[in-house]
């Protein structure tokens, strides 16, 4: 495209000095083909690339930007905090205020520790669970992403119970074998696993609203069975709410399902666009962390005043504006606009939604609850639709299995824009499949 010269030149430069030209692999467009766009600015619901071309953004930096880009109150909080010092390596007020807010918002949580990413949060929560229980094994579910720590980069294929097969080179098989991968939506294999080796399992970690391999909304009974089995066998239940925490509401998926985990991890929204993660739990569990207990965990920039200020400003805007209710309403409006056109679309596609998280699932029939139920042609259809939308200045995630996010910066007019572009893009994609 002749109007994206500068973006192409910048990306060429990136490929010479950054692996794949990107700082995180999903950004590389490998799942859809083509080249990533190099952006210059974000403002509200819009991204502007280095050529000055504007896109309506539904990626929201993969989840954090619940208020949209460069929200004035967040920018103000960041500038103000920076002027007073970017890091102290010591306690600061914003950190304590954000901790109080988390503890007051989320059920069953009495203490929280801040880190700098979701990966660190889940990694630390697993270490804590192992330290508390004195057990080594953990259970995760195929299709759930918990960051890229070694023991969590295991997502083995289908099958009733697959013993850990590393998903990434560089993860020792011995290490991965401590992670048992089970299928979502399957209480039987969970119960069978616990009855076999429940006394060795430190924790079950799950995204209660799995949103990293499509949006795989679970049955309440399945999540309840996780709570029951972990309790019965003395294992801990970890809700990874890095996406859902403070996005579905202040009490996250735990509030939505009325199920209280033992430990919870946060990231994305809680940092308001700056690098923040957190893990939290009951006092008796969190007190096992250093300096009071034997489980070590630390971070030079953890709880730094600038990042804490961005998170705090974001959560305060959400609270003050009844943001979560607005986002739910916006999600409903999206559904109203898309449902008829998706039903009439010339190829199979449906909208799956939880609050302000949505997924354009490129298959018909019931919405999948586990990756085993995916249509193998879905990714191809998505690729075609993705590029047609991009040509119409709509920016969705460059993968069929990544979700989209609404923010408080999106207006109903933006949903109309998406609907119009989507109808055309689906028509175009259908001609090319």
Binding site residues, ligand PLP, CB under 6 A: 117-119, 122, 145-147, 207, 212, 240, 242-243, 267, 277
d(CA 327, CA 408): 7
**Helix H or strand E segment including 101:** helix 93-105
Residue 51 vs 120, nearer CB to ligand PLP = 120
CB atoms near residue 158 (< 10 Å): 11
Q: Which of 233, 251, 268, 382 is catalytic?
A: 268
Residue 71 vs 140, nearer CB to ligand PLP = 140
**Residue with smallest beta-carbon separation from ligand PLP:** 118
Question: At which residue do the structure tokens 């996010």 appear?
Answer: 405
d(CA 123, CA 102): 19
- Measure Cα distances from 190 to 160, 183, 185, 187, 368 in Å: 9, 8, 10, 5, 19
What's the angle, vertex CA 425, arms to CA 421 and CA 430, rounded to 5? 155
CB atoms near residue 73 (< 10 Å): 15
Residue 59 vs 345, nearer CB to ligand PLP = 59
Whether the CB-CB separation of 48 and 39 falls below 8 Å is answered with yes
Q: Is 104 a catalytic residue?
A: no
Q: How far is the CB of 62 from ligand PLP (least distance, A)?
A: 7
Burial of 134 (0-12, 13-18, 19+ CB in 10 A): exposed
CB atoms near residue 383 (< 10 Å): 22
Residue 126 vs 178, nearer CB to ligand PLP = 126
Q: Which of 49, 57, 186, 240 is catalytic?
A: 240
210 closest CA partner among 239, 235, 186:
239
Pairing of strands 404-405, 357-361: antiparallel
246 closest CA partner among 174, 319, 183:
319
Q: Which of 51, 57, 106, 145 is catalytic?
A: 145
Q: Is 268 a catalytic residue?
A: yes
Q: How far is the CB of 118 from ligand PLP (least distance, A)?
A: 2
Q: Is 240 a catalytic residue?
A: yes
Catalytic residue list: 145, 240, 268
């Amino acid at each position: 495209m002749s109007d994206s010269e500068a973006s192409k030149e910048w990306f060429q430069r990136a490929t010479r000095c950054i692996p794949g030209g990107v700082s995180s692999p999903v950004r590389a467009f490998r799942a859809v083909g083509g080249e990533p766009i190099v952006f210059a600015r974000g403002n509200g619901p819009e991204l502007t690339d280095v050529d000055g071309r504007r896109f309506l953004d539904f990626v929201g930096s993969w989840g954090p930007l619940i208020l949209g880009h460069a929200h004035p109150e967040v920018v103000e909080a960041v500038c103000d905090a920076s002027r007073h010092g970017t890091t102290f390596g010591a306690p600061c007020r914003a950190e304590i205020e954000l901790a109080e807010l988390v503890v007051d918002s989320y059920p069953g949580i009495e203490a929280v520790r801040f880190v700098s990413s979701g990966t660190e949060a889940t990694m630390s929560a697993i270490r804590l669970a192992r330290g508390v229980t004195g057990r080594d094994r953990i259970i995760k579910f195929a299709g759930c992403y918990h960051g890229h720590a070694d023991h969590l980069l295991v997502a083995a294929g289908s099958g009733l119970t697959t013993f850990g097969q590393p998903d990434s080179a560089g993860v020792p098989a011995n290490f991965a074998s401590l992670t048992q991968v089970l299928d979502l939506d399957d209480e039987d294999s969970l119960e069978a696993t616990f009855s076999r080796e429940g006394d060795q399992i430190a924790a079950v970690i799950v995204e209660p609203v799995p949103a990293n391999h499509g949006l795989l909304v679970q049955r309440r009974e399945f999540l309840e069975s996780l709570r029951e089995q972990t309790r019965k066998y003395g294992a801990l239940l970890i809700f990874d709410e890095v996406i859902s925490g403070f996005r579905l509401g202040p009490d996250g998926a735990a509030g939505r399902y009325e199920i209280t985990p033992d430990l919870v991890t946060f990231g994305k929204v809680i940092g308001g666009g700056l690098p923040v993660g957190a893990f939290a739990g009951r006092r008796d569990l969190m007190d096992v962390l250093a300096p009071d207990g034997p489980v070590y965990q630390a971070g030079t920039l953890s709880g730094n005043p600038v990042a804490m200020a961005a998170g705090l400003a974001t959560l305060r805007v959400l609270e003050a504006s009844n943001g979560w209710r607005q986002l739910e309403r916006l999600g409903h409006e999206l559904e109203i606009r898309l449902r008829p056109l998706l039903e009439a679309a010339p190829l199979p596609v449906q909208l799956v939604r939880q609050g302000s998280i949505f997924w354009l699932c490129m298959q018909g029939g019931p919405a999948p609850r586990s990756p085993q139920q995916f249509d193998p042609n879905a990714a191809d259809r998505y690729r075609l639709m993705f590029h047609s939308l991009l040509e119409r200045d709509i920016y969705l995630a460059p993968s069929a299995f990544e979700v989209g996010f609404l923010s408080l910066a999106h207006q109903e007019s933006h949903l109309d824009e998406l609907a119009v572009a989507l109808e055309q893009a689906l028509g175009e994609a259908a001609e090319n499949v």
